[in-house]
Structure 1
Amino acid sequence: MTLSVENNNWYYSPEHGELCRVIETQTLWGETVCRVWLPGKDAVVQLPATRLRPPHEAGVATVDGIAYLAAAARVADALTQDVLLAPIESSVIPLPHQIRALSRAISNDRVRYLLADEVGLGKTIEAGLIMRELKLRGLVRRTLVIAPKGLVTQWVAEMRAHFNEHFQLVLPDDIKTLSRISAVASPESRVSGQEDSQPVTRNSWTLFPQVVVPMDSVKPLDKRRGWSREQVAEYNRERFEDLISAGWDLVIVDEAHRLGGSTDQVARYKLGQGLAEAAPYLLLLSATPHQGKTDAFHRLISLVDAKAFPDVSSVTKERVQPYVIRTEKRRAIDAEGKPLFNPRRTELAPVSWKERHWDQRLLYEAVTEYVREGYNQAIAEKRSYIGFLMILMQRLVVSSTRAIRTTLERRLEALEAPQEQLTLFPMVSEEDWADLDGQEQMDTLLKTRLKALKNERAEVKLLLEAAKRCESQGPDAKAEALLDWIYRLQAEEGDPDLKVLVFTEFVPTQEMLMRFLTERGITVVCLNGSMDLEERKRVQDAFAKDVRILISTDAGGEGLNLQFCHVVINYDIPWNPMRLEQRIGRVDRIGQTHTVRAINFVFEDSVEHRVREVLEEKLAVIFEEFGIDKTGDVLDSAQAGRMFDEMYVEAILNPEKVEESVESVVARLQEQAREARTTASVLGATEDLEPGEAQRLLAHPLPHWVERMTVSYLQAHGGKAERKNGAWDLTWPNGERLTNVVFTSKEAEEKPLSRHLTLEDPKVRGLAMRLPPFTPGQPVPVITLPGLAPEIMGFWSLWQISVTSHESRVASRPDGLVTLDPGPETRRRRIMPLFLADDGRVFAPTARHIWDQLLTTPPTILWHLDIETSHQAFDQLRGAAERQGKTIYDELVQAHRERLAREREKGEYAFAARRRAIERIGLPQVRNHRLSLLEQEEERFREQLERRAQILPEMAPLALVRVEGGVHG
């Protein structure tokens, strides 16, 4: 018998083994051909009508088929209800503020945020959770992380440790290598055998799906001394243009306030603009995003959404808050609701020069005099780079005899070289210079072989002889003080194996201390900025295990998480107090269980001691008024770094005016802190946190639903699922096999060699996202469940309710240009369980209870209703579903309208700002032409919004069974 095929009806395709929907039919020369949609494959194919069968020939429902549908629909429903997947599927146990950050980020379709938690609250973990969430939802595959060079290794390590995510670290020297790897011979040359054919170059940034790269190695250049325009263009293509065009789904920028720049022409801001356009999802991380400068903050926040922030006047609390996720340290709590951070103890430890250290004191005074004269001469001759060198000489002599001696040797070598080999100071921006630690600044200066000051060679020779004499006389006074303090702290803390983190600015001091302590039987490891990822990991592992002392430079210490240590000794003190705070922050982190102790060394009766005494007293007043974390917005800036440098230089040049120079700087800091407090209020206050959310998430049954969905699907559709040694061996219907599979993060930790299968896997996610529909004409199974009361009699069903609109993608333009490109249809959906009792009443709690039971207990199929009775039941249920589903539909419509209203408000604000800017143009012809173009653009924008406002409702049946109580005779 020939089947009569009609459009929009459902049929069974034996060829594909699933139900399909006819979209279109065409009869030509006696043959009817159908275009049909296969929901299981989400594909449209052509089939002759003769190959289609009525729905009932698809076969009757099975126990595994019902279990699959119930579990798959529950997984799909969880995804629509904003259940957070990342904490459930990862090994990290998030804290309340991290859960809140993830929840807020995922609540919006446009995941573009500034993560602005105060220092030490784990923004890296928050970003990792958001990345995992987007990956598990199938929204992200390619991720780019941009970070300062001192933090890139930490990113690679933390993503691997906490999320089992592997990122490729690409350092500056690697970029050329990657370009060579990407260049392959063209197909034509391989065919013809021509060796001189031009290679076809592939974008090297596409070689890896997940990349971490230092910020300053990929920012664009305008020019470089000694380079042609072609060389600059090639450099920018390899490092910047190719990077931003490599098809990223998510871009994460750490220390993102550096992208704000001092103007919109700064290279880092241009990098930020490129990155903002490079991916639909963007996370900017910064503990100090505002720094009291509204124009720089406007440049930063406009990277998140250029349309929402077209000009500086748009930076208001109301407009900024939806884009900022921020937690203050004082409000942060652990999972039990207790404060996350303990108080800390900081003390200044003056080091005295004993009689045996007399030559060291003379050396300090001689170098200070050399610095005083050299600095004055450098300023008089407008040679600022020599001024930098003098400042560093002062910090070196305070650090150690070894540090000043090795630097004097290098300086003398430069001064004795032929004059033509001496060069000018390299082009280093103020921002780049401020990011370097003392050792890196010294290396930069000495490599450039700076021209000499008057009589400098003779003075350096005398100082070098004095330094060598001091070294030959025995250990430095500070080295002996360090040893005394280590023993003292062991006694005070009651721990003979006490771990101590020692910070110094300079590598020669680090080397001297390592030898000094090792010779006295104390185990030591060192970290500095020259070490690669593997070296750093070995050092950190050794310190975590048996080694007692870690000596680190500032560059070496970037990115360290050393919660197992709680004592920091600052062997030499950086001039900017924020650097000191960052050092202590290496141990004062989440997970620290002790009171942190910080000991700051300073020479007694030195200029530095007098400055520090006055400064600490004055800073305490500021910290009391604003808090160290709030003051960090001001201190963590290049401007503050300059102020402290100037203050110390002033104290060295005029020792009698120490208090006056400190007072002046502190007054400026107070003024800036007050201004920053006012302007940074746009970031908003932290809400109260919920301590129990993490435990509730970790207990969520989603992984078990995914397991039941996958196993039941395979058993119902011709695959296999075999349980072996606490894991699964799975065979998909197409023959693909996966062995030793587990579904929960706990099982994955217990079985390191297993494969952890999650919704990130496209096949598994497809089981939930492409749910096969129930079609009228299929026989309805009659089931019983042991967990149900005998009197429960009626029909249970699942319905997918959705609204579909023709969406448009908002183009991301740094100039705020409002464009809405036509995009694909977007569907927002919810899954509704429905139970219709035999007496005609609808019971929502019963419907949910039956669904819960089906997720854990296999039903018993008693028989199947005949086709006519099944049809009648479907029609009756559809009417009930329409009535019950109206509330859900209204909620979906309201959410869609609210989203459109936000888009409309942003667009109209951006158009108004651009209109004001155009109206300031002096030439009438230009002004009128641009206003005309703007009006046309605004009209198109409104038309597209109107089109998006038109939505289509849809209600699709997913499952239908008759339930006859928990006991059946």
Structure 2
Amino acid sequence: MSDFSPGQRWISDGEAELGLGTVLSCDARSVTILFPASQETRTYNTRQAPLTRVAFGAGDRVTAAEGWQMTVDASREHRGLIIYQGTDGDGNACELPETKLADTMQFDQARDRVLTGQVDRNDWFDLRFRTLHHYQRTEKHPALGFAGPRIELIAHQLYIADEVARRHAPRVLLADEVGLGKTIEAGLILHRLLLTGRAERALILVPDSLTHQWLVELLRRFALNVTLLDENQSTALESDAVGDNPFDSGQIILASQRWLFANPARQHQALKARFDLLIVDEAHHLDWREDGTSGPGYQCVEALSGEIDALLLLTATPEQMGIASHFARLRLLDPERYHTLERFREEERHYAEVAAAIEALDAVGESDSARERVAGVIDDAESRALLATLANPEADAEQRDNIRARLREALLDRHGTGRVMFRNSRRHVGGFPERHLHVTSLELPSAYRRVLRRVERDEDYLDELLIETGMDHPDVLIYPDAMYRELSSDPLNAEPWWHIDPRVRWLLERLSDDSEAGFAGEKVLVIAHHRETAEGLAEGLRTLGGYHAPVFHEGLSLIERDRAAAAFADEEDGCQVLVCSEIGSEGRNFQFCRHLVMFDMPQHPDQLEQRIGRLDRIGQRHAIELHVPQFENSPAARLMRWYHEGMDAFSAPHGVGSALFDAFGDALADALLDDDELDAIIDETHALFTAKLAERDAGRNRLLELNACRPARAEAVIDGVRELDGDRALPRYVERALDIFGVDSRELGNGLMHIKPSPQMLDGLPGLTRGEDGFTATYRRDQALARDDVQRLSWEHPLLREMMGRIVDGTMGNSALALLGHPSIPGGRLMVELIFRTHCPAPKRLHLNRFLPPTAVRVLLDESGANLSDNISFTGLGKNLQKVNKSLARELIKEHHDKLRGLLEQGESEAERELPSIVEAAEARMRAQLDGELARLNALAEHNPAVRDAELAALGEERAALGEAIEATRLRLDAVRVIITVDAGG
């Protein structure tokens, strides 16, 4: 049987921050420990449990659960439990069973280690103190979670991440236009929530084609290890551990939507797993119907979002399926707020007035109509008072600017969906490359022309054609190669379509053409609508021109798709051309390429923009060259005219294509054979296009753009990231830590270094395995962005987090002994350097560290008890210390044992004097942030129903819990260094 008994008190060696644990149950194989202060439970193998029994000795002070303290004189054991005997604060004799010890107490390992002669190296002690210092700085830094990822510092992305990640259980729709970085925004939010403890587990659901891209992005950009779950993996996990839920197998689970949505049993397992955050990419594909017959994907996400507190929905086209589909996304975020479609439509009509009022703020004081416009949308006394001051001609310019900013913030907060939806447009963000359209007219091959001419002459033949080919209208007209394939009576004997199609020859000529119109030596992405077209085109390029062109389509496995994309991305040995089916225009990032060939036209404007958006993204440094080979006077050429002349679709994304397609899609399909009808539809489309742009600029979209990036806040976040990027202490700390942990580093020049394990390396460091070559790293953000093979070292890098975590949570370096030789100090004297640390067990979800991270208090005493802390710095003292072997150290400690014990007690009294100011400062920081936020949200809730009651209640509870936790802060001895003076010459 084990040595554990229910009720005993133990602490975790690796997770000291959990507080004092109580044995709940135990058997011969396992023991379960409850850590009440941090609300955590752990189960350990009894043979290898990283636990230390809490046992106090004579002279120790302990605290009872009721709050009173006693000084221990002796102890006895009863049925495996310790009963302490001693005196309370009034000098009365008392007893205290270990079961009634306060949960917030910590076992003081440093004290016991040093008194028993267990000492570490002095450089370990030095690193421990510096780690506590840097850990305190970085944990409460406002840019924590944003400085480590390998990203460019783009204002709107960092603003959204900061705004969302600071909320309790955020539920938002990330709807930036294609190429503006929704995946990065989601990754930043996830990274911040994980680092701050606000979330511990996440489930990410993405289209099948994007699973590996997400996997690589989260690893490469955010250094997050993800478990990719599919049916094979789930089955393997279940067979390895019968009865286990595969969704419990990792901290971050990534899964294909198609797999999960089609599998009710797996959905049930996902619902039973405890996730804190759900991320759903390409959320516009979720099919909702007002009559309750929603698609399986929507039903699955709806069920999961009901169990998971935080939810991020991602879509570049929130209204692709119409306003009802957009409402359905918002309904997932907050079903109480968005419960009827009709009410939502009514709210949308009001947004234009609010946007106009915000624009009119600049004219208040000069125009009565501007003041009336603003007055028409405000309904509270404070805002009316501000407006009156703004209109007062005696107000100075600085005062007016401040009032305009306050009124703008209030209006943005209180109106529209800006609190739950973030949408940035390219025209709002700026800095995107130009787009150049190149159209080449080609003659229809006779095999295509015969069919199309007959359709034009004979109205009934179109119906026959649809029946014969099984294709839909207008696909049969727009995609003549597909029609040709379907009409070939014997495909094995028929001439391949790519052999007769002039577009294939045109592409081959361009690939070898080194003139301005050609692609020689440059990457070319080709997108075709159908998988069969993409496959045939790749075969034609190989057969007719000798070009190896990987194909990217929905029929490939995920690994095959990734290989195709990787072969295209390789600059040195990669292929020049990648051929994609329509699926290649969703989610993938090919911004290293600037030539896009649209082999045919998609039917929906959003699909067209998705195609272009694969290249036209933030970070693209070249103009986008759009190449369209088209057949003269063909239905596809007419479709392109509608895009080009009706909505200017090739110059920039406008965000109104879905509405135009809803209005004219059916009529357009009927006009693809008639130029006169097409001209009329183009004119009507352009008129509606112009009106929609004006409506967008005036209404909800303008509100969203104003709210999606507030420049001052964004710049503050960027400044915080740059501050951590330029922290000069980081390289010095890394050098010390790598040396102590047994990791070799070698400068390579140009800001690069190579890090690899040494034979003495401590086990379990991320990215480093004995016998392997390690990795190349840099501190510079620009270098890491330019080279995927170079890791960026920051305070948030997994290697640093692991090393700092081992030190802060473990015993490494918490006791040491050194000799001090100095001409002004006689030999044989005793000094003790004590490092105390604030201890405040609290649930991780409170993110206490932003206000009160573990804070070090240093006390340096000489043998007379004089406090020398202010006179002798840590660094200054360390420069004069000499190391001593452990056997001599034990002898010296034994010789000074009684005096050392007295100094330890006095040092605690000295450190306690510092605690009130630390607690007071933490409470002030907490009140300044949360009281203001709580007041703002309460006021906001009176005007904007997008503020959820649950969010208000949670913030109030968080405020109260943080207040209690900070107030209960105590100091505990973290590290001790005994210093013995020696003659300067000895």
Which bracket does the TM-score occupy, shorter chain normalised?
A: 0.5 to 0.7
Report the Cα distance in structure 2 between the residues aligned to 1:533 and 1:557, rounded to whole angstroms.
Answer: 16
- In structure 1, the residue matched to 2:432 is 341
Query: Which of 619, 629, 647 is the matching residue for 1:601?
Result: 629
Alignment of 1:202-351 (within 5 A): 202-207=244-249, 210-219=252-261, 235-236=263-264, 238-259=265-286, 261-263=288-290, 265=292, 266-267=294-295, 268-289=297-318, 296-301=325-330, 303-304=332-333, 317-318=412-413, 320-324=417-421, 327-330=424-427, 332=429, 340-351=431-442
* SS of corresponding position for 2:204: strand
Could you tell me whether the CA contact under 8 Å between 1:117 and 1:326 is conserved in 2? yes
8 Å Cα contact 1:780/1:870 also seen in 2: no
Q: 1:619 to 1:891 in 2, by over 3 A?
A: same
| Partner deviation per Cα, 1:673-727 (whole Å, 9 max, x = no partner) | 5555512344324233557766554444558647756976x8xxxxx88999854
From 529, 540, 551, the counterpart of 2:554: 529
1:686 equivalent in structure 2: 709
Residue equivalent to 1:436 = none
The structural deviation recorded for 1:870 is 6.6
The one-letter amino acid paired with 2:558 is L
Which of 474, 480, 483 is residue 391 of structure 1 equivalent to?
A: 474
Which deviates more, 684-693 or 643-652? 684-693
TM-superposed CA distance for 1:345, in Å, is 0.6
Give SS of 2:275's match.
coil
Tell me what 1:336 maps to.
none
Alpha carbons of structure 1 residues 641 and 769: separation in structure 2 relative to 1, 3 Å:
farther
Alignment of 1:110-259 (within 5 A): 110=169, 112-136=171-195, 142-163=201-222, 165=224, 167=226, 169-170=228-229, 175=231, 177=232, 181=236, 201-207=243-249, 210-219=252-261, 235-236=263-264, 238-259=265-286
SS in 2 for 1:390: coil
**Deviations for 1:934-960, whole angstroms, at most 9, x for unmatched residues?**
9xxx99999999788766352526579
The reply on whether 1:587 has 2:587 as its aligned counterpart is no
Counterpart residue identity of residue 587, structure 1: L
Query: Judging changes above 3 Å, is the alpha-carbon distance between structure 1 residues 147 and 370 closer, same or farther for their aligned structure 2 residues?
Result: farther
- 1:365 correspondence with 2:453: yes
Say if 2:491 is the partner of 1:482: no
- The structure 1 residue matched to 2:521, chosen from 475, 492, 497, is 497
Contact conserved, 2:598 with 2:626, CA < 8 A, in 1?
yes
Selected match of 1:895 from 929, 939, 942? 929
Say if 1:53 and 1:277 are closer, same or farther in 2 by CA, change over 3 A.
same
Structure-2 change in CA distance of 1:524 and 1:155 (3 Å): same
**Residues 850-869 of structure 1: matches in 2 within 5 Å?**
none
Would the aligned equivalents of 1:722 and 1:730 in 2 still touch at CA under 8 Å? no
Deviation of the 1:330 alpha carbon: 4.4
- Aligned partners of 2:322 and 2:703: how far apart in 1? 12
AA at the equivalent of 2:261: K
TM-fit CA distance, 1:404: 1.8
The separation in 2 between residues aligned to 1:329 and 1:592, in whole angstroms, is 13
Quote how far apart the aligned CAs of 1:264 are: 7.8
- 1:510 maps to a residue whose letter is A
Deviation at 1:585, TM superposition (A): 2.0
The equivalent residue for 1:567 is 595
Percentage of identical aligned residues: 21
Q: Aligned letter for 1:879?
A: R
**SS of match in other structure, 2:667:** helix
Distance 2:74 2:427 in 1: 64
Change (3 A) 1:497 1:779: closer
**Deviation (angstroms), 1:731:** 7.1
Aligned residue for 2:177, secondary structure, equals: coil
Taking the aligned partners of 2:333 and 2:520, their CA distance within structure 1 comes to 51
Contact map agreement 2:57 2:74 (CA 8 A) in 1: no
Structure 1 residues not aligned, in runs of 5+: 16-21, 187-199, 221-234, 333-338, 414-463, 715-719, 786-793, 810-822, 839-845, 916-933
Displacement, 1:576?
2.3
2:614 match: secondary structure: coil
- Alignment partners' CA distance in 2, 1:914 and 1:86: 26
Q: CA deviation at 1:554?
A: 0.9
Amino acid at match of 1:364: L
User: Which residue of structure 1 lines up, in the alignment, with residue 44 of structure 2?
Assistant: none
1:7 aligned partner: 62
Indicate conservation of the 8 Å contact 2:177/2:424, yes or no.
yes
Tell me if 1:618 matches 2:646: yes
Cα distance in structure 2, aligned partners of 1:764 and 1:665: 61
Please name the residue that 1:430 is paired with: none
Aligned to 2:139, which of 72, 75, 80? 80
Q: Is the 8 A contact 2:331 2:338 kept in 1?
A: yes
Q: CA deviation at 1:120?
A: 0.8
In 1, Cα distance between equivalents of 2:848 and 2:961 = 12
Q: Which of these residues, 669, 679, 682, is aligned with residue 649 of structure 1? A: 669
Aligned-residue RMSD, C-alpha? 6.1
Q: Hey, what's the Cα distance between the residues in 2 that align with 1:165 and 1:351?
A: 49
Structure 2: segments with no counterpart, 5+ residues? 1-55, 64-68, 76-80, 88-92, 352-411, 747-754, 823-830, 862-868, 885-891
8 Å CA contact 2:124, 2:812 repeated in 1? no
After superposition, give the CA deviation of every residue in 1:400-443 in whole Å (9 maximum; x if it has no partner).
3xx3222224xx79xxxxxxxxxxxxxxxxxxxxxxxxxxxxxx
CA contact under 8 A between 1:144 and 1:210: conserved in structure 2? yes
Given that 1:149 and 1:215 are in contact with CA atoms closer than 8 Å, whether structure 2 keeps it comes out as yes
Does structure 2 retain, via aligned residues, the 8 Å contact 1:503–1:551?
yes
The 8 Å contact of residues 227 and 253 in structure 2, kept in 1 or not, is answered as yes
Going from structure 1 to structure 2, the CA distance change for 1:370 and 1:261 (only over 3 Å counts) comes to: farther
Q: CA deviation at 1:329?
A: 3.1
Q: Displacement of 1:598 after TM fit?
A: 0.3
- State the alpha-carbon separation in 1 of the partners of residues 960 and 484 from structure 2: 74
CA distance in 1, matches of 2:431, 2:953: 52
For 2:872 and 2:443, how far apart are their aligned partners in 1?
76
Deviations 1:824-863 (A, max 9, x none): 999951455678999xxxxxxx999967889x97966999
CA distance in 1, matches of 2:921, 2:57: 43
Q: Are the aligned partners of 2:448 and 2:484 in contact in 1 as well (CA < 8 Å)?
A: no
Aligned pairs for 1:46-65 within 5 A:
63-64=122-123
Q: Is 2:95 the partner of 1:70?
A: no
Shift of 1:542: 3.2
Contact kept? 1:72, 1:771, Cα under 8 Å = no
Please, what TM-score do these two structures have when normalized by structure 1?
Answer: 0.64
Rate the CA distance shift 1:658–1:850 in 2: closer, same or farther, 3 A.
farther
- Cα 1:244–1:481 change in 2 (3 A) is same
CA shift in 2, pair 1:615/1:900, >3 Å: closer
TM-fit CA distance, 1:394: 1.1
Deviations 1:777-803 (A, max 9, x none): x99999899xxxxxxxx9998776688
User: Which one-letter code corresponds to 1:81 in the other structure?
Assistant: K
**Structure 1 residue 307: deviation in Å?**
6.9
Equivalent runs, 1:795-806 vs 2, <5 Å: none
Q: Secondary structure at the match of 2:593?
A: coil
